[in-house]
Chain A
Amino acid sequence: MKEKFLTALAQISCQRGDKQANIQKIEEYTERARRQGAELVIFPELSLTGYTIRDELYELAEKIPGPSTNAIEKIARKCKVYIVFGMPELSAKAQATIYNSAVLVGPEGYIGKYRKMHLPTHSVFEEKRYFRPGYQAGTFETAIGKIGLIICYDIFFPEVCRLTRLEGAQMIICISASPSVRKAFFEALTVARAMENAVFLAYVNLVGIEDGLQFWGGSRLVAPNGKIIAKAKYDEEDLVVGEVNYIDIKPVEAFVPTLKDLRPELFDKLKGKAEEL
């Protein structure tokens, strides 16, 4: 396994509802990232379709693996890179049950998926109307380390990152479609989640305007000590590359040993209190 590699944050806007156009953009950005030496390229939440697709989700959702994951798998094989992207996933066992999923493919083909656990359904968000929540963390063994996937609103719940970290993730990838009124939250939480878990965290947000919602971009790669290694522009498409070096985890994990000091008995209490809320 590699200790050190370059990762690219591909902060794109999407053609809403046009999977072919978005796959083409994913290919272009992947090729560009590869030319810059990246071995992992990350795209935003629901980057296959755009975020605000509403009732069209029933037509656009696909099984995983399926035609779109196959197409992106091909790009990964051709460019010899790992790719993370987001898409609406149709349950293999049902006809209109959909998940908001993140997919990881690599030079070896399809690797795995993560289904978003926390679906915002408040303010401008209506995800629970359309999506079923996932029940599992998503961590995957690869040649570039153990990669964990989470999606957008999940980052507001420290237990998702913690669980992903406890499953062994050295790098947590948060793909996102966050409108600009929430910028301050994400800027703080991305750094907090990296530091409290002594883990690399890559946050990749959408840009562009969909149905009056403006996605703010600002994608970033955060080191375990909270340092921002690479940061994309606000509000416009961008591709930035930063280095992940797992050797940087150990000094942070020893300096503020949050993993050593975990108190498992608190989690039982949390469960009880959360049920009573």
Chain B
Amino acid sequence: MTTHIISPVESQIAPLRDAYREAIAQKRLKLATGIVILIVATLAASWGAEVDLATLWNKIGNFTNYFNRLFFLDNGQRVWTDLPEWFWGLKKWGKQLAETILMAYVATLTGAIAAFFLCFSAARNIAPSSTLMFTVRRGLEFCRTVPEIVFALIFVVAFGLGAMAGVLAIAIHTMGALGKLFSEVVENIDLKPVEGTRASGGTWAQQVRFGAVPQVLSNFVSYALLRFEINVRGAAVMGFVGAGGIGQDLIEAIRKFYYSDVSAILLLIILAVMIIDALTEKLRHHLLGDVSS
């Protein structure tokens, strides 16, 4: 048995075909406008950033060369031929790395606790007063918009060189970032337990303690763990401005062209970040899994 496909007459097809063409043309026009805008913005930006392709072309060799040099010891041998020589400062660097992680830990915990106490008055659904909410929100916004290294620069002048300036800088930035995330979590809670506490005569603090906190705690801890990992990375560069941690040695090694030291310290940082990344991810899964079960 054969089937025939009856093709429609031209007069029937024409309007459909035209409409299709028009739709496609419109889409293409949109795309073309987007591309033109992108190109203009790129040209403007490369003028603004003084991009010089000739320099890049001439110096791109330097880049591979530089990375190649990172893996040579002073005596001209490849780094992996002599591990003790490569990681000669392991004891010192290990100590500094531990200090860096400790800085991140103290700063994250301080910032998270501060954010915990502030977030309830910044959440739209249970804030006690709108003026307080507005003030806390703007304050948190300020804390997270100013980069932590700028805080560190100022704190080094005020508190003196050393890890304390770095810890305070990271803690303030963490407070701002976590405060926002925490208050968003609080805005999404079920309000019935809060109302229940209020109905049985609870004060605002009791409403928060018994109505809100049990619902949000696991999410808070999960966000704080995520922040810890970010802060370890942040603490590693605090030494660039004299605010403690392994950054001090790293910037010295880079500036003075101690190639094998740079690669050794970078490897240590990457390793530490990876391990912490894996650990916190496991903890977070465990935590969120516990809640669902």
Q: Do A and B bind each other?
A: no
**Residues of A bordering B, CB below 8 Å:** none
B interface with A by C-beta (< 8 Å) = none
